[in-house]
Amino acid sequence: MNSGSIAFILVCAALVLLMTPALAFFYGGLERRKNVLNTMLMAVIPLGIASILWVVIGYSLSFSGDGSWIGNFNHLFFEGVSMSKNTLHGLEIPDGLFGGFQMMFSIITVALITGSVVGRMRFTPLVIFMVFWLILVYYPLAHMVWGGGFLAKIHSIDFAGGNVVHISSGVSALVLAIVLGRRRDYIRLEYRPHNIPFVLLGAGLLWFGWFGFNAGSALSANGLAVHAFMTTNTAAAAAMLSWLIVEKIMIGKPTVVGASTGLVIGLVAITPGAGFVSLWSSILIGALVSPISYYFISVVKHKFAYDDALDAFGAHGIGGMFGGIMTGIFTTPALALEKGYSGLIYGSAKLFVAQIGAIVFTVIFSAVMTFIIIKVISLFTAIRVSDRAEAVGLDDSEHDETAYPTFMGLDS
């Protein structure tokens, strides 16, 4: 055991936990004021659901056994998981700390999905969906990528969650949005963020927490963690500036929401390769992902008229896919996990092909499983609020609370 690494990963785990309430502020600020509390609660309820489920079954299904698709039940309730030694993963931190750090990833991942369905989905069916999505989508993917399963066996790599976190949540968010249908005023009304300072606060805290997310994925206080720290910050900075340039060209004015969105998308894009790609390529990754995501959010979404309310797919789905592809292009030989599996620009196509295969599989797997889960839930209960409840606002109709009791009918 290494006391420095133990202290480092403890802090990183806490930083990743902070990302979930940060996401609540980010999403809450983007949504209308009559739905802000519902939006924030949808984002933070995974702190309870995913934490308990991880201890009971999630860790075991994700990181036990050597199967291709999912783990076994050997470590239910963290049975056999040492809090003082590492006997399972060959690391210099205890098994329990590794499990706790990974738990935080499951929390933020399921929270990301909620951005697509704000303003119209009933809270109880959403909670039920989260439970089954974690068991049937997240835990299998975590095992396939990080637990030695199928996607690891085809030699794809994912440093901190491109497939496991962002593609899975983004694609699932898109499927949920399509199944649920558009908001009642989606075509005729322009939806505007109700609290832009909330958006910036959330984005800033996400950037802060992301250092734990990516640097902590080195699972040791070492040079790889430093490298991931630097690529993470660099990509976020480049993406923020790139988004503002795109806004200046397209609409004539840079915006705070745009800066916040751009930096988050840069963080998403660098996540799969933060510990694998060079520092100079992280600038390219951040600079290039913003115009691509901007196009999906401002053009593709409106062309196909799907109501991904807070652009979970455009940010996390597209950003995650782009990041995974860039990892297959820019992974350096010195940082590659396997000899011969470096990036395309270094003369080998094997990693690039593996990355494309992993992305395609993750998209299909997440989409199909999400569709099945929500359709089965809809057989037993209504998943969407009534027109009247949507008009009144979900803060009042779902929770009997009001964030701004004196707003006097604004944003009705």
Encoding tokens for residue 266?
């840069």
Q: On the CB side of 194, how many CA atoms lie within 13 Å of its CA?
A: 18
pLDDT tens digits, 328-345: 999 999 999 999 999 999
Q: Which pLDDT does position 408 carry in this prediction? A: 52
Task: Identify the helix (H) or strand (E) that includes residue 241.
Answer: helix 223-250
Contact 78, 93 (CB under 8 A): no
DSSP string, 162-204: IIIIIIHHHHHHHHHHHHH---TTTTTS----S-HHHHHHHHH
Q: Phi/psi class of residue 338: alpha, beta or left (left: φ > 0; alpha: ψ in -120 to 50)?
A: beta
| Residues 289-318 pLDDT 10s | 999 999 999 999 999 999 999 999 999 999
pLDDT tens track for 59-83: 999 999 888 999 999 999 999 999 9
Q: What is the pLDDT of residue 409?
A: 52
Give the dihedral sign, CA 47/19/163/243.
positive
Q: How many beta carbons lie within 10 A of that of residue 85, not counting itself?
A: 11
Give the predicted TM-score (pTM) of the model: 0.95
What number is the average pLDDT over the span 362-375? 98
Q: Look over the chain and give the mean of its residue pLDDT values, rounded to a whole number.
A: 95
Sorted by sequence, the CB contacts under 8 Å of residue 334 that are 6+ apart come out as none
pLDDT in tens, 153-202: 999 999 999 999 999 999 999 999 999 999 988 877 777 899 999 999 99
pLDDT classification of 90: cutoffs 50, 70, 90: confident
How far is the C-alpha of 5 from the C-alpha of 259, rounded, in Å?
34
Q: What number of residues does the chain have?
A: 412
Query: Mean pLDDT across the stretch 359-381?
Result: 98
Q: What is the dihedral of CA 78, 82, 83, 89, to 10 degrees?
A: -100
Show the tokens assigned to 95. Answer: 């098994």
- Helical H segments across 271-393, by residue range: 279-295, 301-304, 312, 318-330, 350-378, 387-392
Confidence at residue 207, expressed as pLDDT on a 0 to 100 scale: 98
Per the CB < 8 A criterion, the answer to whether 43 and 114 are in contact is yes
Percent of the chain predicted with pLDDT > 70: 98
Q: What residue ranges do the domains of the chain occupy?
A: 3-399
Token pair listed for 81: 């998981």
Q: How confident is the model at residue 87 (pLDDT cuts 50, 70, 90)?
A: confident
pLDDT of residue 163: 97
Q: What is the mean pLDDT of residues 364-375?
A: 98
Q: Report the chain's C-alpha Rg in angstroms.
A: 20
Q: Which CATH number fits domain 3-399: 2.170.190.11, 1.10.10.10, 1.10.3430.10, 3.30.870.10?
A: 1.10.3430.10
At 316 the pLDDT is 97
Q: pLDDT tens across 257-293, in order?
A: 999 999 999 999 999 999 999 999 999 999 999 999 9
